[in-house]
């Protein structure tokens, strides 16, 4: 089998792009996903995809995109991969266009571009307000083509449980669980990619899909892969609170002219439409005259937080207005229809008529599995033929998309996630093929490792199936989510972080006293969830420990001296480049994460203060 | 095929839906009649081969819940209304914002997405059943692989030369793009199949969703180069000819995709294609 097939876990944008790229090189691909790949979380991305195509006569360029991304990420991102991605972005958008993505057009029939946060340029290509869905479908269609041609085999409703590593530590395959038959199998692979997305469910309710537990990344971490910058969690400024999830209200709503405000009078009960202009507080426009409502997400989130903390929230609650009612309805329908429908369907109000009520919600993890890159010294970008790109520290294991830590540094700019997923796949696929053909094909057979890994997971699941304590896994998950949301999102304080670590230890202890309610041997999702919960608790500790030890504020990581004094410049710890312009690396030990720091590649843009 | 299909070209606006299928149309008229508890009846089935049975649950009422959040409540304390310990209900779910296509089921007899089924707009007791036209795997989870297989049958993709840089794609007028965009939002949920009388044990009708996808790719400038192959697929056994013009599909589609328009357009295209073949041009 060596050198013949690779395994990709996860069928979102990153996984599918990897599959297409590898299949195109003649490589067989076994594609694993817990849902039919067309239902992956990439469908939820709304606003668009960044690429400096410069069709608006604004003088945009990949170099400006590069600078915006590095600056937006507060200089924590390694620069060579970011530059390479920004230069690749226009080509990636063209490729999607050729695949048939129904991007919005200009009167001349060219791709239209909109504005997003953290930039002054129209750089975001979009397909209505369902860009992620449209991109995912285009890739899904291409993968189906390769499936029909016989190169790609899909294993849908299969969950990744763990790696198969040989005696020398090389990754040689994976162990998977069939979500219906509950059969556990080991699969050989010349190389394995995890493209399993983010860990939103660690925070209970978030803008993420319920499948985004981060469990695959956690397992890889527990089996030796480094987890980097775990403390950097993006909280999206505008989500619609709900009891089952926080639904995203895309940044494109502001990109198309949406304005954020609250009444100037606390507790003003008037209908928002009857409040005159001079009695409205457009708090972002007032404080940030240059970017206004389009300041980067971490900043917008903190401002909303502070507005509500000081009693200016709409109806005295934790909510502010996001107002589109000044924009013509026809224009809203064409450019934002998809997301306005979501608001209408779930809240019952028409956002074309009434300002929306929103509040920040956990959205994205900048951190993730550490991956390597091969810098090309001459261009400052990457040697895109290298097998080192997207490789984790475990030989043969790759990672791409939100599950990897690269590109976004301390804060991701809007519409950079889709392009980073696709770029990860674009370079990750060829890297894996090269590794397969040049390295994996020379490795000795590792038959015993497969049997051992399979048995290990069969034993684990037999143990879980026998659990009969008083605790309910979903109740434990809810407690974890509440603690993580309260203490490890918008504002962090060391005392609270230490208490959260303690709580996570308590929950891990209580995990052992879970009682299984579903005794079925078929389609038992509770078994799977209990295993996922254990992994979520592990990765939650990585995030919390990273946040505790990083004694500074940078991007989305905002630490205050005294929580009761709120979000103010005096109360916040400043950015500390001397000690913390470094990538956090977490390594798993039985006693919890061991944290060390690695230098960041800042060779192309000199770090400067981040002031919008 | 007969000419009657020309009449199928009915465009439907977002709000123009039959009352039974209009999500959340059944708002409670009496605002004071908010129940203290939600009563839920779920048709369960332990495996593909076992017999289905009903279970009843009672959940404390909270405003603005949907069917998913009620099922999540059961996860945390799986007990029937009668106090019997049970297991969490198994169903497909992912995004919870009606874009992944996972959580389709029959809610009070209507095939729809559970995430947009708001409790305040449903009559109680709320009855949940799996979609009826697909094999049940467990509880409300069904096997919709036939939907994805149908996309293979109609070659629902643009056959690009490769992922290497070949410059931009073909230009397209915005108004055509807008029409095509309707079709490209199909979430493969299966509701259109579920309400179609022609989709049943005795037929292999391909269904409205994939016909609409053929329409989408046949009008894309590059996709059109392979239009004939898709038309051939639609003219084969189980293709367009099996459509019975019930028009249920378009009413059940949660994304308001003009499915019957697509069927009519594809019918015309197939007729033309057939004629051309006959004349050898």
Q: Is the pLDDT assigned to residue A31 strictly greater than 90?
A: yes
pLDDT at res. B35: 74
Closest-approach residue (CA) in chain A for B188: A38
Contacts with A92 from chain B: Cβ below 8 Å: none
Rounded percentage of chain A residues whose pLDDT exceeds 70: 100
C-beta separation of A396 from A191 below 8 A: yes
Cis bond before residue B125 (omega within 30° of 0): yes
Rg (CA), chain A: 23
pLDDT at res. B19: 37
Q: What's the whole-number mean pLDDT along residues B169-180? A: 95
B60 in A contact zone (CB under 8 Å): no
Interface test with A, best of B96, B158, B218 (most A CBs within 10 A): B96
Do β-strands B104-107 and B110-113 pair in parallel, antiparallel, or remain unpaired?
antiparallel
Nearest to A130 among B99, B152, B162 (CB): B99
Alpha helices in A288-416 (DSSP H): 297-309, 329-347
Contacts with B62 from chain A: Cβ below 8 Å: 243
Q: What's the whole-number mean pLDDT along residues A301-326? A: 94
C-beta separation of B130 from B140 below 8 A: yes
Say which residue, B28 or B96, is predicted with more confidence: B96
Q: Is the pLDDT assigned to residue A425 strictly greater than 50?
A: yes
Contacts with A428 from chain B: Cβ below 8 Å: none
Which residue is listed with tokens 């981040």?
A: A610
- Nearest-Cα distance to chain A for B173, in Å, is 5
pLDDT at res. B21: 42
> For A342-384, what is each residue's pLDDT tens digit?
899 998 899 999 999 999 999 999 999 999 999 999 999 999 9
C-beta separation of A576 from A410 below 8 A: no
Contacts with A91 from chain B: Cβ below 8 Å: 165
Cβ-proximal residues to B84 (8 Å cutoff; 6+ apart), any chain: none
pLDDT at res. A338: 83
* CA-to-CA dists, residue A136 to A37, A142, A371, A422, angstroms: 9, 10, 23, 10
- Under the banding of pLDDT at 50, 70 and 90, the label for residue B15 is very low
- What is the C-alpha separation between A9 and A21, in angstroms, rounded? 15
Q: Under DSSP, is residue B101 helix (H, G, I), strand (E, B) or coil?
A: coil
- Which of A65-69, A397-401, B20-24, B87-91 is predicted with the least confidence, judged by mean pLDDT? B20-24
Q: What is the 3-state secondary structure (H, E, C) of B178-193?
A: HHHHHHCCCCCCCHHH
Query: Which residues 108-137 of B are in CB contact (within 8 Å) with A?
Result: 115-116, 118, 137
Judge: B220–A210 Cβ closer than 8 Å, yes or no: no
pLDDT at res. B33: 57
Query: Which residues 175-214 of A are in CB contact (within 8 Å) with B?
Result: 180, 209-211
Rounded percentage of chain B residues whose pLDDT exceeds 70: 88
- Under the banding of pLDDT at 50, 70 and 90, the label for residue B280 is confident
> For A126-140, what is each residue's pLDDT tens digit?
999 899 999 999 999
- What is the C-alpha separation between A47 and A240, in angstroms, rounded? 16
Query: Which residues 145-174 of A are in CB contact (within 8 Å) with B?
Result: 145, 147-148
Rounded percentage of chain A residues whose pLDDT exceeds 90: 94
> For A193-220, what is each residue's pLDDT tens digit?
999 999 999 999 999 999 999 999 999 9
Contacts with A144 from chain B: Cβ below 8 Å: 148, 151-152, 156-157
Residue A595: left if φ>0, alpha if ψ -120 to 50, beta else—which one?
Answer: beta
pLDDT at res. B22: 44
Nearest to A518 among B24, B88, B184 (CB): B88
- Nearest-Cα distance to chain B for A90, in Å, is 9
Q: Is the pLDDT assigned to residue B32 strictly greater than 80?
A: no
Judge: B97–A107 Cβ closer than 8 Å, yes or no: no
- Nearest-Cα distance to chain B for A515, in Å, is 11
Residues in chain B, overall count: 281
Q: Is the pLDDT assigned to residue A334 strictly greater than 60?
A: yes
Judge: B169–A21 Cβ closer than 8 Å, yes or no: no
Q: Under DSSP, is residue A29 helix (H, G, I), strand (E, B) or coil?
A: strand
- Nearest-Cα distance to chain A for B264, in Å, is 22
Query: Which residues 526-585 of A are in CB contact (within 8 Å) with B?
Result: 526
pLDDT at res. A339: 87
> For B68-120, what is each residue's pLDDT tens digit?
999 999 999 999 999 999 999 999 999 999 999 999 999 999 999 999 999 99
Judge: B174–A97 Cβ closer than 8 Å, yes or no: no
- Under the banding of pLDDT at 50, 70 and 90, the label for residue A566 is confident
pLDDT at res. A171: 98
Nearest to residue B5, comparing CAs of B152, B158, B208?
A: B208
Contacts with B75 from chain A: Cβ below 8 Å: 474
Judge: B173–A526 Cβ closer than 8 Å, yes or no: no
Burial-class residue A283 by CB neighbours within 10 Å (0-12, 13-18, 19+).
Answer: buried
C-beta separation of A152 from B118 below 8 A: no
Under DSSP, the state recorded for B39 is E
Query: Which residues 187-246 of B are in CB contact (within 8 Å) with A?
Result: 187-188, 217, 220, 222-223
Angle at A292 between CA A289 and CA A293, to 5 degrees: 165
The whole-chain average pLDDT of chain A stands at 96
Cβ-proximal residues to B145 (8 Å cutoff; 6+ apart), any chain: none
Catalytic residues of A: 297
Burial-class residue A412 by CB neighbours within 10 Å (0-12, 13-18, 19+).
Answer: buried
> For A528-559, what is each residue's pLDDT tens digit?
999 999 999 999 999 999 999 999 999 999 99
Query: Which residues 491-520 of A are in CB contact (within 8 Å) with B?
Result: 517-520
Q: Is the pLDDT assigned to residue A484 strictly greater than 60?
A: yes
């Amino acid at each position: 089998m060596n050198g013949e097939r690779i395994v990709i876990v996860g069928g979102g944008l990153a996984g599918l792009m990897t599959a297409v790229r590898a299949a195109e090189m003649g490589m067989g691909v076994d594609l694993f996903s817990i849902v039919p790949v067309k239902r992956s979380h990439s469908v939820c991305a709304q606003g668009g995809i960044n690429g400096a195509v410069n069709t608006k006569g604004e003088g945009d360029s990949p170099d400006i995109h590069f600078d915006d991304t590095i600056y937006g990420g507060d200089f924590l991102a390694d620069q060579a991969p970011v530059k390479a991605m920004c230069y690749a972005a226009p080509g990636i958008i063209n490729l999607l266009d050729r695949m048939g993505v129904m991007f919005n057009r200009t009167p001349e029939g060219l791709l239209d571009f909109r504005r997003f946060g953290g930039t002054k340029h129209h750089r975001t290509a979009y397909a209505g307000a369902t860009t992620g869905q449209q991109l995912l479908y285009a890739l899904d269609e291409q993968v189906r083509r390769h499936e029909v041609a016989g190169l790609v085999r899909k294993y849908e409703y299969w969950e990744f449980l763990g790696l198969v590593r040989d005696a020398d530590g090389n990754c040689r395959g994976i162990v998977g669980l069939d979500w219906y038959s509950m059969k556990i199998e080991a699969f050989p692979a010349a190389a394995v990619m995890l493209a399993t997305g983010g860990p939103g469910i660690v925070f209970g309710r978030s803008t993420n899909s319920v499948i985004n537990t981060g469990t695959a990344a956690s397992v890889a971490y527990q089996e030796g892969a480094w987890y980097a910058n775990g403390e950097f969690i993006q909280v999206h400024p505008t989500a619609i609170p709900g009891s089952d999830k926080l639904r995203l209200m895309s940044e494109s709503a502001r990109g198309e002219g949406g304005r954020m405000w609250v009444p100037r009078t606390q507790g003003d009960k008037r209908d928002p439409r009857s409040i005159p202009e001079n009695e409205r507080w457009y708090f972002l426009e007032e404080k940030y005259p240059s970017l206004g409502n389009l300041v980067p997400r971490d900043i917008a989130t903190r401002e909303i937080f502070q507005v509500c903390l000081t009693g200016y929230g709409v109806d005295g609650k934790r909510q502010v207005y996001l107002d589109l009612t000044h924009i013509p309805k026809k224009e809203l329908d064409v450019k934002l229809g998809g997301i306005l429908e979501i608001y209408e369907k779930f809240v019952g109000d028409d956002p074309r008529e009434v300002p929306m009520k929103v509040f920040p919600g956990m959205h994205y993890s900048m951190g993730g599995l550490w991956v390597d890159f091969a810098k090309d010294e001459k261009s400052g970008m990457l040697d895109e033929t290298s097998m080192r790109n997207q490789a984790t520290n475990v030989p043969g294991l790759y990672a791409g998309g939100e599950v990897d830590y690269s590109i976004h540094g301390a804060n991701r700019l809007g519409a950079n996630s889709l392009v980073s997923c696709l770029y990860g796949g674009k370079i990750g696929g060829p890297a894996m093929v090269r590794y397969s053909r040049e390295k994996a094909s020379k490795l000795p057979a590792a038959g015993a490792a497969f049997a051992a890994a399979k048995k290990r997971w069969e034993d684990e699941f037999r143990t879980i199936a026998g659990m009969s304590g008083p605790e309910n896994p979903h109740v434990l998950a809810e407690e974890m989510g509440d603690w993580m949301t309260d203490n490890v999102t918008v504002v962090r304080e060391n005392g609270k972080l230490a208490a959260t670590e303690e709580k996570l230890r308590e929950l891990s202890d209580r995990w052992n006293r879970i009682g299984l309610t579903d005794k079925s041997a078929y389609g038992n999702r509770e078994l799977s969830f209990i295993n996922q919960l254990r992994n979520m608790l592990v990765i939650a500790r990585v995030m919390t420990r990273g946040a505790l030890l990083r004694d500074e504020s940078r991007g989305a990581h905002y630490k205050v001296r005294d929580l009761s004094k709120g979000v103010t410049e005096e109360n916040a710890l400043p950015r500390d480049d001397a000690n913390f312009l470094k990538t956090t690396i977490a390594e798993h030990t039985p006693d919890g994460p061991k944290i060390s720091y690695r230098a960041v590649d800042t060779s192309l843009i000199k770090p400067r203060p981040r002031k919008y | 095929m007969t000419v009657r299909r020309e009449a199928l070209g009915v465009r439907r606006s977002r709000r123009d839906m039959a009352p039974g299928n209009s999500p959340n149309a059944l708002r409670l008229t009496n605002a004071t009649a908010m129940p203290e508890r939600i009563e839920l009846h779920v048709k369960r089935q332990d495996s593909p081969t076992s017999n289905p049975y009903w279970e009843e649950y009672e959940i404390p009422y909270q405003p603005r819940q949907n069917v998913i959040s009620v099922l999540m409540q059961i996860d945390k304390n799986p007990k029937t209304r009668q106090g019997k310990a049970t297991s969490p209900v198994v169903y497909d779910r992912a995004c919870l914002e009606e874009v992944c296509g996972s959580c389709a089921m029959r809610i009070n007899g209507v095939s729809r997405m559970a995430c947009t089924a708001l409790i305040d707009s449903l009559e109680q007791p709320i009855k949940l059943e799996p979609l009826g036209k697909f094999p049940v795997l467990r509880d409300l989870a069904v096997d919709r692989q036939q939907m994805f297989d149908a996309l293979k049958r109609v070659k629902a993709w643009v056959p690009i030369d490769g992922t290497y840089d070949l410059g931009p794609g073909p230009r397209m007028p915005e108004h055509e793009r807008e029409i095509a965009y309707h079709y490209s939002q199909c979430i493969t949920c299966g509701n259109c199949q579920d309400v179609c009388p022609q989709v049943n044990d005795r037929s292999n009708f391909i269904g409205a969703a994939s016909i609409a996808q053929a329409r989408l790719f046949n009008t894309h400038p590059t996709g059109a180069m392979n239009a004939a192959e898709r038309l051939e697929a639609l003219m084969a056994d189980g293709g367009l000819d099996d459509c019975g013009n019930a028009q249920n599909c378009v009413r059940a589609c949660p994304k308001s995709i003009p499915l019957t328009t697509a069927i009519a357009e594809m019918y015309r295209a197939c007729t033309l294609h057939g004629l051309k073949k006959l004349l050898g041009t």
